[in-house]
Amino acid sequence: MTDEENGEWNFASDNVAPVAPEIMAAIVESNSGSVSSYGSDPWSAKLTARLREVFETDLVAYPVATGTAANALALSVITPSYGSIICAQDAHINTDECGAPEFYTAGAKLIGLPSTDGKMSVDLLEKTIAQKRTEGLQTAQPHAVSITQSTEWGVVYDTAHITAISGIAAANDISLHMDGARFANGLVRLGCSPAEMTWKAGVDALSFGATKNGAMAAEMVIIFDRGRTGGLAARHKRAGHLWSKARFLSAQLIAYLENDLWLRNAATSNAMAQRLARGLSGIAGVHLIHPVQANQVFATMPQAAIDAITTARFRFAQWTRGPLGEGALLRFVTSYSTTQSAVDALISCTKAAMIANGTVAGIKFEAI
Ligand SMILES: Cc1ncc(COP(=O)(O)O)c(C=O)c1O
């Protein structure tokens, strides 16, 4: 039963979406006969070859089932246990991974830089590194910088920004990691190549996400410099992420990349977010918090409207009080499976709620 048949419209996360039919079909198709285990199967070999084509370079790639594992493993390769990782304050690695990066690196420290939209300020990064260098052995020296594309606040780094960050990192002998849980959403927004958004811009290690964009559970740790894989094969196994039946992970990722499914899915997802942003921003009393550049829309609206859309069975995430002090901060996330009718229904319901609440066009009036 679809959400709409069920009378529920779920914007809580892109993880609430079903598996893309093409990926489900690929899992089923790979489910016949016996093949070698632990990544020695034909799907896994094909996947690595395909990734080298997609990224136009040699690389080392290991599939994992969660984004947390991808991030923590990638960071463990580029950060020693006594080092630190600089990231934005609200980075998923800093706020939502239960210490997995610290655990996998065996103790590296995370340094969260203030940021309102999840993007890292180049200036602040430079100053922070300089400060840490003066502190010497008293502090955990930065060995990695981690950025999220697209960010936790739904905005997208352009390649010049990534290049500026990697330039500062490289000048200080620091590696750059990209959390690409929503990599495709950022890529489609920029319209550049995967190579341009990563290694050509100075990214050393990438967490390449697919789960939020149609896979069942499949992400990749990708290291672009074959000379710097830092025991990743052993780390992957030791962490319990080397699946014996690895073909089922690899089959998902091959299907994800086939016929540009990943780009088509992200384009739909981004377009639905744009549609929602356009509709909500036209309603007086509803405020969008950040430019909508990928598939997340952050908004504030009065509590009466929140209650109304909740009662109408729209699902979304609610943060604490919004930055404008006008009610809770809401997060609406679209996915490849979000429909125009769901988006339009949410816009109409919000508008109706605002009218019933007596606020349209910024003017208070009595509901008729
Ligand atoms: C920015 C970001 N990175 C990584 C992840 C990966 O999380 P998980 O371990 O739940 O797959 C998420 C999931 O919400 C995310 O939003």
Full-model pTM: 0.95
Question: Which of 14, 96, 211, 219 for a ligand 1 pocket mutation test, highest count of atoms within 8 Å of Cβ?
Answer: 96
Distance 15 CA to ligand 1 centre (A): 9
The verdict on the CB of residue 146 being under 6 Å from ligand 1 is no
Tell me the two tokens of residue 216: 């069942």
The verdict on the CB of residue 90 being under 6 Å from ligand 1 is no
pLDDT score at 22: 98
Question: Which of 64, 66, 68 for a ligand 1 pocket mutation test, highest count of atoms within 8 Å of Cβ?
Answer: 68
The verdict on the CB of residue 179 being under 6 Å from ligand 1 is yes
Distance 70 CA to ligand 1 centre (A): 9
Ligand 1 nearest-atom number relative to CA 71? 4
CA distances from 336 to 10, 220, 265, 316 (A): 13, 20, 5, 16
Distance 207 CA to ligand 1 centre (A): 10
pLDDT score at 19: 98
Distance 361 CA to ligand 1 centre (A): 37
pLDDT score at 171: 97
The verdict on the CB of residue 93 being under 6 Å from ligand 1 is no
Ligand 1 nearest-atom number relative to CA 219? 11
The verdict on the CB of residue 151 being under 6 Å from ligand 1 is no
The span from the CA of 334 to the CA of 336, in Å, is: 7
Give the CB-side neighbour count of residue 332, counting CA atoms within 13 A.
33
Give 91-142 as a DSSP string.
-HHHHSSTTHHHHHTTSPEEEEEP-SSSPPPHHHHHHHHHHHHHHGGGS--E
Tell me the two tokens of residue 357: 């609440």
Distance 292 CA to ligand 1 centre (A): 19
pLDDT in single tens digits along all 368 residues of the chain? 667 777 789 999 999 999 999 999 999 999 999 999 999 999 999 999 999 999 999 999 999 999 999 999 999 999 999 999 999 999 999 999 999 999 999 999 999 999 999 999 999 999 999 999 999 999 999 999 999 999 999 999 999 999 999 999 999 999 999 999 999 999 999 999 999 999 999 999 999 999 999 999 999 999 998 788 889 999 999 999 999 999 999 999 999 999 999 999 999 999 999 999 999 999 999 999 999 999 999 999 998 999 999 999 999 999 765 555 556 799 999 999 999 999 999 999 999 999 887 765 444 333 33
The verdict on the CB of residue 68 being under 6 Å from ligand 1 is yes
DSSP alpha helix (H) spans, 149-216: 159-171, 183-190, 194-197
- The burial class, CB within 10 Å (0-12 / 13-18 / 19+), for 1 is exposed
The verdict on the CB of residue 152 being under 6 Å from ligand 1 is yes
Single-letter amino acid, residue 44: S
45 CB contacts (<8 Å, ≥6 apart)? none
* Residue from 1, 8, 2, 5 nearest 310 by CA: 8
The verdict on the CB of residue 41 being under 6 Å from ligand 1 is no
The span from the CA of 359 to the CA of 224, in Å, is: 53
The span from the CA of 142 to the CA of 291, in Å, is: 31
Q: Whose CA is nearest to atom 7 of ligand 1?
A: 67
Give 222-249 as a DSSP string.
EES-GGG-TTHHHHHHHTT---TTTHHH
Ligand 1 nearest-atom number relative to CA 212? 13
| Residue-wise burial string across 138-170, b where 16 or more C-beta atoms lie within 10 A, e elsewhere | eebbbbbbbbbbbbbbbbbbbbebbbbbbebbe
**Beta pairing, strands 363-364 & 175-180:** unpaired
pLDDT score at 368: 31
Distance 96 CA to ligand 1 centre (A): 8
Ligand 1 nearest-atom number relative to CA 66? 11
